């Protein structure tokens, strides 16, 4: 069993003893190989010693060299770009092996990449069948497909169908499509473009075909006066727009100037505010220090309030001592009376005793009255001290802000 490489080498070493003529082109191949694989060549050369054969077939894409290479054992690249033409030659020359080889490529689904080739290969089918899958795919994907300029080399009748059925993104896209079709099919110019189209084209599209060499073939077909008129109108409109824009710019500049002045004013105020802020901040700092100092003094006074406490026990003790003095004073009065009745008189002593008694009596009675009215202030002092401590705590918290 030979490998593919061995078979290729074998066929390559066979003599190229057959001349194939197609139109003005001639090709060399092995006569025996061509007779084995091509039914038509076999029929034409049967029982013939001729080493030359003329084939009445069309080969616009020059596929015969590829066919000969395939029949001589070489692998060839089959794709949507050549499968249609290879299949056509396989039918005309009755090459069943080649026809089988191209079927996989022919049966691939329609894509953006192969649609243009498929349209070219199946023009008759698309024109005859309004519901052709190829035409449907073209119409549904017209915006993407028209990016490839080779589309406009397709049959103008197909392009007209696409123009009629497609939904373009906007009028500019549709008009560009028309211009490209007309530029590649100048004989069908009137089928794609009308005077009304030029009257309604946007200035962007007009500038596109006036400045782009791609549309140079349309120079003799264009309504020059109308186009010039449109361009002049567009220029006039642009001048009006420019004047309006300049006016807006001037207004914007005035507004910017006002904004700048306002900005400068605000910045001046901000600087002044910053100065005021620093001043207030310094005053606040001093105020905090004063608050701290005040809280320390209040706390000191709160702690010293204990010295002003008068407890109930102290009040009772003072009352007891005053009672004791009262009793002592009464006894002193008793002794004074005894002295006044004594055998031996002590007038000076009696006078002094009476004076002491009267002094004590005059002092003790008011003191007893005051003591009787005196109440314990211990709870009040504690409450005041607690309030002072709370005040100190509040001041400290405030000073920490």
pLDDT digits (tens, 9 = 90+) for 111-158: 999 999 999 989 998 999 988 999 999 999 999 999 999 999 999 999
The reply to whether 29 falls in a domain is yes
- The parent domain of residue 328 ranges over 303-399
Place of tokens 């001592």: 321
H helices then E strands: how many in the chain?
19, 3
Within-domain flag for 25: yes
Q: Is residue 309 part of a domain?
A: yes
Predicted pLDDT of residue 250: 84
- Residue ending a domain, among 61, 85, 108, is 108
Contacts of residue 122, Cβ cutoff 8 Å, sequence gap at least 6: 84, 132, 134
In a domain, 96, yes or no: yes
pTM of the model: 0.52
Residue that is last in its domain, among 78, 108, 138: 108
Question: Whole-number mean pLDDT of the chain?
Answer: 82
- Confirm whether 171 is domain-assigned: no
What is the largest distance, in Å, between two alpha-carbon atoms of the chain? 205
249: pLDDT strictly greater than 90? no
Whether 163 maps to a domain, the answer reads no
Mean pLDDT of 93-105: 95
Q: Does residue 280 lie in a domain region?
A: no
Boundary-marking domain end, from 79, 108, 137: 108
Q: How far apart are CA 299 and CA 292, in angstroms?
A: 10
| Number of domains comprising the chain | 2
pLDDT per residue as tens digits for the range 166-183: 999 999 999 999 999 998
Six token digits for residue 131: 């519901």
CA dihedral 86, 89, 94, 95 (to 10 degrees): -30
Residue 99 lies in a domain: yes
């Amino acid at each position: 069993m030979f490998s593919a490489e061995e078979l290729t080498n074998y066929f390559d070493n066979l003599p190229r003893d057959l001349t194939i003529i197609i139109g003005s082109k001639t090709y060399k191949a092995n006569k025996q190989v061509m007779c084995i694989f091509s039914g038509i060549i076999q029929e034409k050369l049967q029982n013939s010693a001729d080493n030359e054969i003329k084939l009445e077939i069309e080969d616009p894409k020059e596929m015969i060299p590829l066919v000969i290479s395939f029949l001589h054992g070489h692998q060839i690249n089959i794709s949507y770009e050549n499968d249609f033409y290879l299949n056509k030659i396989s039918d005309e020359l009755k090459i069943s092996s080649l026809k089988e080889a191209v079927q996989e490529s022919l049966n691939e689904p329609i894509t953006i990449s192969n649609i243009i080739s498929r349209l070219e290969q199946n023009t008759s089918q698309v024109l005859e069948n309004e519901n052709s899958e190829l035409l449907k795919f073209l119409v549904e994907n017209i915006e993407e497909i028209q990016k490839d300029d080779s589309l406009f080399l397709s049959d103008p009748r197909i392009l007209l169908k696409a123009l009629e059925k497609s939904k373009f993104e906007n009028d500019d896209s549709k008009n560009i499509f028309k211009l490209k079709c007309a530029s590649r099919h100048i004989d069908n110019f009137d089928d794609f473009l009308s005077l009304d189209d030029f009257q309604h084209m946007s200035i962007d599209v007009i500038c596109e075909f006036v400045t782009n060499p791609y549309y140079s073939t349309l120079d003799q077909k264009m309504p020059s006066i109308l186009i010039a008129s449109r361009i002049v109108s567009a220029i006039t409109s642009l001048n009006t727009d420019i004047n309006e824009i300049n006016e807006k710019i001037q207004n914007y500049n005035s507004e910017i100037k006002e904004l700048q002045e306002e900005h400068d004013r605000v910045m001046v105020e901000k600087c002044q505010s910053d100065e005021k802020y620093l001043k207030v901040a310094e005053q606040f700092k001093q105020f905090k220090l004063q608050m701290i100092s005040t809280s320390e003094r209040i706390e000191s006074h709160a702690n010293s309030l204990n010295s002003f406490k008068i407890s109930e026990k102290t009040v009772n003790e003072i009352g007891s001592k005053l009672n004791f003095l009262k009793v002592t004073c009464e006894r002193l009065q008793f002794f004074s009376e005894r002295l006044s009745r004594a055998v031996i008189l002590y007038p000076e002593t009696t006078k002094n005793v009476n004076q002491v008694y009267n002094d004590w009596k005059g002092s003790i009675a008011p003191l007893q009255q005051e003591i009787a009215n005196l109440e314990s202030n211990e709870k009040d002092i504690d409450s005041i001290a607690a309030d002072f401590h709370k005040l100190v705590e509040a001041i400290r918290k405030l000073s920490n802000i």
